[in-house]
Chains A and B, each alone.
Chain A
Amino acid sequence: MIEVKNVDKSFDGNHVLKNVSAVFETGKTNMIIGQSGSGKTVLMKSIIGLHRIDKGKIEYDGRNLPDMKMSDIRMLRREVGMLFQGSALFDSLSVLENVMYPLEMFSPSSKEEMTERAIFCLRHVDLEEKAFNLAPSEISGGMQKRVAIARAIALQPKYLFCDEPNSGLDPKTSLIIDKLIHEITHEFDITTIINSHDMNSVMEIGENIIFIEKGEKAWEGNNSDIFHVDNEALNDFVFASELYKKVKKANK
């Protein structure tokens, strides 16, 4: 479980996060949603420790990140997997080598065991075997996302962060990636935090949703509650399309 308590963050006097508190539960797909510029990426980067917060606490199962030394943060990060918006696969390595990389860095296992684990992860995300030895640039965007998920789970992380996992993907592939993240979260009992503004994802897998508006937490709930909310900013964000407006009307 990750707990964020009264977090404040400013950049050059610009107050980006204002007293944000939230609980991200283990075994659930927790989502941070909000419009572009609302502060959701800053919140996620602060939780990971890429931004140092001005005030507040970020507790990983009771371990407060801002109090940690760099060496302790590095140790903690070995329990973290991350899926980046652009996949961030290493160009110079093949698909299989990308997934093996964290294992080679931190796992005491033998080469055979590491290869076995990497292949298990790649099969788990349904990647075709013929792609294992290709370079990341030789596979599609959806396949790159699968490889990035396989790499993120290679070290059996306790915490999984996904930054815009559906960015640049077609709706069908987006749905597959969403389901994959959801399945992995439940199967391995991971604390997953997804940063997204894709409403299909929110409706599909949002078990715990935090809505950020102008740097503040404006709403918290799940994908069922979201249809019955009176928050104007959230309704503007969620029901921006005519289709969702109709869905909401039908649900009333």
Chain B
Amino acid sequence: MSLLSETGKYFLLMKRVFVLPDRSNMFFRQFPKELEKLGLQSLPIVAIISVFIGFIMTMQTKLNTSNPLLPVYTTGLVTRDTLLLEFSSTILCLILAGKVGSNIASEIGTMRITEQIDALEIMGVNSANYLILPKIIAFVVMMPFLVIFSMALGVGGGYFVGVLTSIMTTGDYLVGIQYAFVPFYVFYSLFKSMFFAFIISSVAAYYGYYSYGGALDVGKASTNAVVNGSILILFFNILITKIMLN
């Protein structure tokens, strides 16, 4: 029952969020700020994680597939497909659910407990639309760029492992990352990452918007946003994969 009422409350909030802004110039003033805060400021963490995952994935794949019967391009192919299909979309979104999700929930939650949201409502502003819509749209718009950035750095990280450790030749790796390439995988990855970006931002905004009490409660809202956002990402990952790849 609680799950049903929470779900209903979430959709009612989204109904208030997805309406035309009272003043479009105010929306377009907020939007670039959110692009910068949610997207550009996520680049360092995305870069670090993607490069290191590319490193380790290539090393582990090479170590665990040292069978002479397996073709030489196996390592490159496995690294590429793992990055394209899961890491740069799903796993990256799980990581960003922590960074961006907690940021959104704590920012909106703090505005709630310090009565800033009440102040907006008293002024006659649709606070849900004003605060949440730029965040959701900015994050959904930025996500494909983050995913492409992550894919490139991950594959590049794998290449450097080959060069630095001599566990394989760079030629073998380059053949692997080009072998049997399915362009649809990129589309699939971008599509699901945009869907996950919507989940992360809207769920975090929901928990922040309905937080109450003090600093402790904002912390709880932030934790709930990350945990529930992550669970939803995992659930929808199965659903989207089943629909798009089967």
Contacts and interface: CB of A to CB of B under 8 A. Distances in A.
Asked if A and B bind, the verdict is: yes
Interface of A: 48, 50, 74-78, 80, 82, 84-86, 88-91, 101-102, 104-106, 161
Interface residues of B, number: 17
* Chain A interface SS verdict (over half): mixed
B122 A82 contact: yes
Contacts of A50: 118, 121-122
B116 A105 contact: no
Given A78-B123, A105-B123, A106-B124, A84 B118 contact: yes
A86 B111 CA distance: 12
Interface of B: 22-23, 25-26, 110-111, 114-116, 118-119, 121-126
Contact of A105 (B23, B110, B121): B23
B119 A78 contact: no
A88 B119 contact: yes
A72 to B, nearest CB: 10
Nearest to B113: A86
Contacts of A89: 116
B113 to A, nearest CB: 9
Given A75-B124, A88-B114, A105 B26 contact: yes
Contact of B122 (A77, A86, A91): A77
Contacts of B23: 104-105
Contacts of B114: 86, 88, 91
B118 A77 contact: no
6 contacts: A77-B123, A78-B123, A104-B26, A105-B22, A105-B26, A105-B124
Nearest to B119: A88
Contact of B124 (A78, A86, A90): A78
Contacts of B126: 74
A101 B122 CA distance: 13
Contacts of A77: 121-124
Nearest to A79: B124
B115 A74 contact: no
Given A104-B26, A105-B22, A80 B116 contact: no
B201 to A, nearest CB: 18
Contacts of A75: 124
